[in-house]
Each structure stands twice: as C-alpha cells, then as structure tokens.
Chains A and B, each alone.
Chain A
Amino acid sequence: MPRRVVLLVGTRKGCFVMESDLDRRDWRIRGPYCDGWPVYHAIYDGESGTIYAAAASEWHGSGIWRSGDLGESWQLSSEGLGYGEDAELKLSKVSGLSAAHGRVLAGAEAAGVFESRDGGATWSLKSTLDGQPGRELWNIPENQPPGHLGMPAIMPHPTEPEHFWVVIQGMGIFETTDDAATWTPRNNGLRAAWPREHEDVGFCVHKLVMSPLDTDRMYQQNHVGMHRSDDGGHSWVEVTEGLPTEFGFAAATHPHDRDSFYVIPLDPGHGRFMPDGHASVWRTNDAGSSWRRLESGLPTQDAYLGVLREGMAIDDLDVPGLYFGTSTGQVFASADEGESWSEIASYLPAIASVEVAVVE
C-alpha cells in the first residue's frame, strides 16, 4: 500500500481516523471508534504500528483502547491502571500518552505515570513523584477544586529510554533521567500570576514540545506566556511579545527547522477561544523573536474556536502539514506549513486531540 497520512482525532464521543494520500487534500473519515467513549488523547506508535487512545467513560471508568490495524478493530484494557483499593490516590482519568523505546507511558489524574510493556494489554504504576516539592498539595481535592491536578502530558527523550519529562497541572515540568526513580523540577525562569508555596513549582504548563532536531530546544505554551528553552528545559525565557495573547494550549515544532514553532493563542478569560473570533495559527521562524499570523483559508470573523493542549499536530513530510481540531468539532489542515488552510471535517464531536502519522 502506498504511503499515506493518517490523522487520529480524539473526541468527546470516540476516536476518529482520517486518511489522505501524501497530497493531503482529500480526506476520508472513519469512526467513531472506542464505543463512543470520551477520548482525551489518541496516538500512533510508529514502532509497533498500534494506535492507543486514552479514554474515560462516565459509566465504566478509565481505560486505554488499542488498535493494531489502524482502527479496524479495538481492544480495551484498564488492567493495572489504578492506585489500589486502599490507596490515598484515586484514578479518575488517563490522558497524556507517549510511545517510545518499546513501551507506552500514560499520565493519569490523580497524577501518576503508568507503563505498559506488552502493547497496552496490562499496565503498572511507575511513579507518583513522591517527595517532590508541592507533591503534598497537588493530590488533595480541596486544594484545587473541582478535582485533582493530573498529569496531562509525558514527553520522552528520543534516544535515551530512561529519560523523560512529565507535566503536573498547576505545578510544572519534572524531569527524570533514571526511569522515574528520581525527579527534578524544570521550571526555572517561568512566571506565575498567582502565589506559590515552593520556589521550584507552582507553574501552569499547558503544552511542552521539543524540536526533533535538537533535544536542547524546547518550547512551551504556559497559562501565562510562551517560553523557550535552549538547554533541555533547565532554564526558560519568555517569547510572548508579538502574540495577541499570552494564553493558549496547543503548540507544535517544525520537523526540519529548530527555530520554527507554531502556537494558537486564545482569549485567557472564560471564552478560551481565538481572540475576536478571528481564527489564526501563529508561527515564529526565529525561535520566538518575532511572530507571524497564518490565516489564509481560516474563518477570520465570527469564528470562536477553541483548541486544547493536544489539539494541534504537524507531520514530518518534506513540506510539513499542520493540523488542528477544535472544541466545536472542526478539523483544519494545511499542506504547506500553515501558509494556507482548508476545513477537512466540520461536524465531529468536541475535539480533545489531533495526532498525525505517515504510514505505509
């Protein structure tokens, strides 16, 4: 079969799979999958060819669906996804997934890292970051209504299996280089618009991404500001100037240029939609020194679109394609690095995540 581009779209009512040839102009939609369970993050594991979808049913709890045939058939497992009968922590949701180095990692709410080494059939708890600053607070529900602060994201190092980063909501980034045995907060240089009890934590990291060309080059969309790191997350500098707001969720790094990076700024108040109803993606070509609005083909008025933290993805073709899904069920795609856009799905359920893979 010729190479094709596959989009995995996690929605409030299941996972959808969209496919196109490498032109990325004509798309076919399949789904909904995962029995219509709310899917928070669906990923493609290029090593095994498996789709994983983190889901939580209002009726039947949390689990991770998997498909080894690009969505034609699915299995669900929650075996091992929990903190035990008498534990202090309760698992209410699994959300952030990552697949690398022959395993899958899942971030959970309450915050914990779970691992599967058998293709998602069973899971085991790796860490709840005990002893880290702020740890005594972040899982106490009355400290952060309406619920726990979870672990929405895990970012693996591309070549070092025991090296990865996690995000704790409202706390920040933590790095491990010994497979979760020890952790170090990596929030130096970030700012917060609220009081904090610990020097190293208390920051609201919405999305963390790394350049595939340079593991020292990271970007993050924070609750307050866009930030860049040139030293693998050890320190951060703010690069918000030039953007319409400091707030947003989604971010993507260019696969062939370490200085290019995309974000979708949102209104920071109750709306959390694109400012002034003007749909735009913003790109920097100089590591955040300047920003350019990308809007050709996007609705530029009366378009109050929201995009969540996993809602934007970029492929790694020679001329990369960029994709984002909205809280109102539209998917927009660009086959030319964001210069021009088209709406490739209009009426899906509310979208939580978009991931892309180029498959054989």
Chain B
Amino acid sequence: MAELHLPATLPSLFEDLPRTLEVEAGTVNEAIDRLDQRWPGMRDRLCEPGPQLRRHINVYVDRERAGLDTRIEDGSRVDVIAAISGG
C-alpha cells in the first residue's frame, strides 16, 4: 500500500474523493488506473493522450519527481501536485 496525496482542486470534482488515501499499485500509472476505476474520469483530469501527465500536474514518489512509469513501493508516499500556473 502507498499513501497518495491529492491536490485541493480534485475533491470537488468527484463524489467522496478524499485528499489522502491508500492505494495498491506498482507504478504511478497503475495508481491512476485505480483512482479512475473508483472515480471515473480521474485519468482525464491528470493525464493527456500519450499517455503522459498533464503539463501542470507534477507527481512525486518519496519526494522525488516521478513520471507515469515510476515504481511505487509498499509504504511509498505519492504526492500529486497542481503546479503553480498563472494568476
């Protein structure tokens, strides 16, 4: 299980979505799949076709900048950040 932290811009878009949750996944991409299964449409909020992370969505695994293929270990902390983007 990894601990996943989501940005404040997401919970209002999905019913009962918490800011922090536990997820069972081997990569960042799999973690997004798990979220999309539970909250359909989540992948489109985080990823563009490719697939790749959206330009202003940054993901960190254990405080290191990550991509969709980055591995997640049991006990990892995954932070999804809505990066600063204009005023």
Contacts and interface: CB of A to CB of B under 8 A. Distances in A.
Interface string B35-64: 000001100111011110010110000000
B12 A35 contact: yes
Contacts of B86: 58
B49 A85 contact: yes
Nearest to A60: B45
Q: How extensive is the interface on chain A, given as a class?
A: 10 to 19
Contacts of A35: 9, 12-13
A118 B38 CA distance: 22
Contacts of A82: 44, 49
A79 interface: yes
Contacts of B7: 59
Interface string A33-72: 0010000000000000000000001111101000000000
A59 B54 contact: yes
A59 B46 CA distance: 8
Contacts of B57: 59-60
Interface of A is mostly: loop
Interface string B61-87: 000000000000000000000110110
B45 to A, nearest CB: 4
Nearest to B82: A59
A351 to B, nearest CB: 17
Given A58-B85, A58-B86, A85 B46 contact: no
A61 B48 CA distance: 8
Interface string A76-97: 1111001111110010000000
A84 B44 CA distance: 12
B9 A60 contact: yes
Contacts of B44: 61, 63, 78-79, 82
A59 B9 contact: yes
Contacts of B85: 58-59
Given A78-B41, A78-B44, A60 B50 contact: no
Contacts of A87: 49
Q: For B13, B54, B56, which residue has the most chain A Cβ atoms within 10 angstroms? A: B13
B69 to A, nearest CB: 16
Nearest to A62: B44
Contacts of A84: 49
A83 B49 contact: yes
Nearest to A63: B44
A60 B56 CA distance: 8
Contact of A58 (B10, B51, B56): B56
B74 to A, nearest CB: 29
A59 B56 contact: yes
A298 B49 CA distance: 47
A30 to B, nearest CB: 17
B48 A90 contact: yes
Contacts of B13: 35, 60, 76
A255 B57 CA distance: 46
A241 B61 CA distance: 63
A79 B36 CA distance: 12
A31 to B, nearest CB: 14
15 contacts: A57-B9, A58-B85, A59-B7, A59-B9, A59-B85, A60-B10, A60-B13, A61-B54, A76-B13, A78-B44, A79-B40, A85-B50, A86-B49, A90-B48, A90-B49
Interface of B: 7, 9-10, 12-13, 40-41, 44-46, 48-51, 54, 56-57, 82-83, 85-86
Given A60-B54, A82-B49, A83-B49, 10 more contacts: A35-B13, A58-B86, A59-B7, A59-B45, A59-B57, A59-B83, A63-B44, A79-B44, A85-B50, A90-B48
